[in-house]
Amino acid sequence: MRILSGIQPSGRLHLGNYFGMMLPAIQLQQGGECLYFIADYHAQTTVHNAKELREYVNGIAVDFLAAGLDPERSIFFRQSDVPEVTELSWILSTVTPMGLLERCHSYKDKLARGIAASHGLFCYPVLMAADILIYNSNLVPVGRDQKQHLEVTCDIAEKFNNMYGNIFTIPEPLIQADSAHIPGTDGQKMSKSYNNGIYLSEDEKSFRKKIMSLKTDSTPVELPKSTQDSLILQLYKLVATPEEYAAMENSFLSGGRGYGDYKKTLADALWNHFAPYRKRRHEILSSPDYIDNVLQDGAKRARAIARETMRQVRKATGLGDLPPC
């Protein structure tokens, strides 16, 4: 079982990234051969500052490793360190119907959010397909907003296989339903785009300030409080034991405590939960060569798989032999 997942270096990582993508990815290390990549090619659709992109890539590498990704169990690499993926993207684009891409809602959603239209943004699903297919991935964890792109990947793979032979494995999606919506400080889905994130690398003062700023209603201290759609309860559930969560939920319904008290409890729980992460992060940052060594080793291992796929693709499509590295 080969599992593949990627994350865009388009900003600092927040709790939504951790619980929605990183933690499930780390847990999957026990279940198969895992490849995890930092999608810097994809990030170029929105990040156009070279210094920022390099900083975001390094930040993701540090955060992922500090959170528990094991480079001995998984292949962890930069997308751009495997250039064969861009060649495959071009080849796949020659069999991808325009109508398939025009139906993708993500492109329209991003335009609506003010992201400039570009060929890269429009053809994002083709590069995503290349990312997945070049490693013959069996299982791809995706958020609900990416599910359509995986369906596009399957359509492209089937079309290519029908034309050239069964080269590509048809991947299956793995939707992390319980982590699909981690709320930000304003109640919307936590996102860098909405400026509502609580970041893994925040200092304690900033971290606690953001928790204390969580959106709540004006229910007086002495009255019961609604548990429905409570941002405090939603975030507390991520780190509390079932007993701890039940106690807070019952306290909401009983009344007598203010939201400020609940926020302090939440801030303590979240801050303590990530204590091992902060310790590991400090260790990694104290060894500046460690990140480069991990990513270079991961790229070497990933590229060996990718080049074997490209040999088959080139032979099937009539292209020449794969050039040496």
Reported as a single tens digit per residue, the pLDDT across 16-31 is: 999 988 999 999 998 8
Report the chain's mean pLDDT, rounded to a whole number. 93
- pLDDT tens digit sequence for 303-313: 999 999 999 99
- pLDDT tens digit sequence for 122-141: 899 999 999 999 999 999 98
CATH of the domain at 308: 3.40.50.620
Task: Quote the Cα angle for 9-14-20, to 5°.
Answer: 90
Tell me if residue 152 falls in helix, strand or coil: helix
**Same domain membership, residue 62 and residue 33:** yes
Spell out the alpha helix ranges (H) of the chain: 15-17, 23-27, 40-43, 50-67, 84-93, 98-102, 105-112, 119-122, 124-133, 147-164, 204-212, 231-239, 242-254, 259-273, 275-285, 288-317
Q: What is the pTM of this model?
A: 0.92
131 closest CA partner among 316, 302, 312: 302
Question: Which residue did the predictor score with more confidence, 174 or 87?
Answer: 87
Give the residue-averaged pLDDT of 206-228: 96
List Cβ neighbours of 125 (8 Å cut-off, separation of 6 or more): 100, 101, 104, 106, 149, 152, 153
pLDDT of residue 144: 73
Where does the pLDDT of residue 177 fall: very low under 50, low under 70, confident under 90, or very high at 90 and above? low
In a domain, 162, yes or no: yes
**Same domain membership, residue 232 and residue 122:** no
In a domain, 302, yes or no: yes
Tell me if residue 320 falls in helix, strand or coil: coil
Is residue 255 over pLDDT 90?
yes
Is residue 285 over pLDDT 80?
yes
Is residue 314 over pLDDT 90?
yes
In a domain, 190, yes or no: no
Where does the pLDDT of residue 290 fall: very low under 50, low under 70, confident under 90, or very high at 90 and above? very high
**Same domain membership, residue 164 and residue 211:** no
**Same domain membership, residue 229 and residue 120:** no
**Same domain membership, residue 227 and residue 159:** no
In angstroms, rounded to a whole number, what is the distance separating the alpha carbons of residues 304 and 267? 45
**Same domain membership, residue 120 and residue 42:** yes
Q: Cα 225 to chain center, whole Å? A: 34
Is residue 244 over pLDDT 80?
yes
pLDDT of residue 231: 96
Give the residue-averaged pLDDT of 155-174: 96
Domain count, the chain: 2
List Cβ neighbours of 203 (8 Å cut-off, separation of 6 or more): none
Catalytic positions: 110, 189, 192
**Same domain membership, residue 146 and residue 99:** yes
Is residue 179 over pLDDT 70?
no
**Same domain membership, residue 167 and residue 61:** yes
What percentage of residues in the chain have a pLDDT greater than 70?
Answer: 98
In angstroms, rounded to a whole number, what is the distance separating the alpha carbons of residues 289 and 53? 19
Where does the pLDDT of residue 109 fall: very low under 50, low under 70, confident under 90, or very high at 90 and above? confident
In a domain, 134, yes or no: yes
**Same domain membership, residue 78 and residue 166:** yes
Give the residue-averaged pLDDT of 59-81: 97
In angstroms, rounded to a whole number, what is the distance separating the alpha carbons of residues 145 and 124? 13
Give the residue-averaged pLDDT of 252-279: 97
In a domain, 8, yes or no: yes
State which residues form the domain around 267. Answer: 201-273
73 closest CA partner among 145, 116, 25: 25
Angle between helices 124-133 and 84-93 (to 10 degrees): 120
* Beta carbons within 10 angstroms of residue 205's beta carbon: 8
pLDDT of residue 31: 80
Q: In what order do the strands lie in the sheet with 33-38?
A: 74-78, 33-38, 2-7, 139-142, 172-175
**Same domain membership, residue 160 and residue 258:** no
Give the residue-averaged pLDDT of 277-283: 97
Give the residue-averaged pLDDT of 40-52: 95
**Same domain membership, residue 162 and residue 101:** yes
**Same domain membership, residue 295 and residue 260:** no
